[in-house]
Structure 1
Amino acid sequence: MEARGESAEGQASVVYVIVTRSRLNRSYWGGNKIADVCKKGGQFECWNSPTNNIDTACEEYKNVEKVVKDVIYNGAYGHLDDGSDHFNNPDKEGYPTWTNNCA
């Protein structure tokens, strides 16, 4: 669950990054299918970590699932859809070198 512990808006921002990447249909991001983008190696920790066991029955998972469905099916949090293809929380990850290319 990428962005677990973030607000619903923070989680929706990650969903929009995934949607943007699928729209752009780049092989290095997994192509044009959302599932393939999510599972592309080295991109989203929650789907790529062999030690990450996701409990689909927990409340946190259900909250994230609701945000995902609201974004995908209802366009919720549309103000966050600015075409971003990356995300970063500097409080958790610092400033990776790729952030130097961001405005």
Structure 2
Amino acid sequence: MANNTSQHILNTSANLLGFCLFVITSLHIASQTETHIIDELTSCISVLLTFSCIFSFVSIRTSNQKKEKRLETIADYLFVISLVGILIIILLIAFNFIK
């Protein structure tokens, strides 16, 4: 049986992926050329969150305990890296509004 961590990673990663897609859409609607770095960083974070979702889902579905733990660890690391990336995105957006 899968650990509860994978279920939380899957749920939260999917929600944050929606946040990233909202940011990308908002930047394209605003057509701001100075937010190009934010747009690219958000796209990269979206890819990391998608892989985090995939690894956590496969971790939940597998019956092999060793494979489950390895996939869950990968999903966990991708999730933490994504959180740091989202922090950077939020700081860049905040500094962009201050200017």
The answer to whether TM tops 0.5 is no
Structure number with the bigger relative contact order (C-alpha 8 A, sep ≥ 6) is: 2
TM-score, normalised to structure 1's length? 0.29
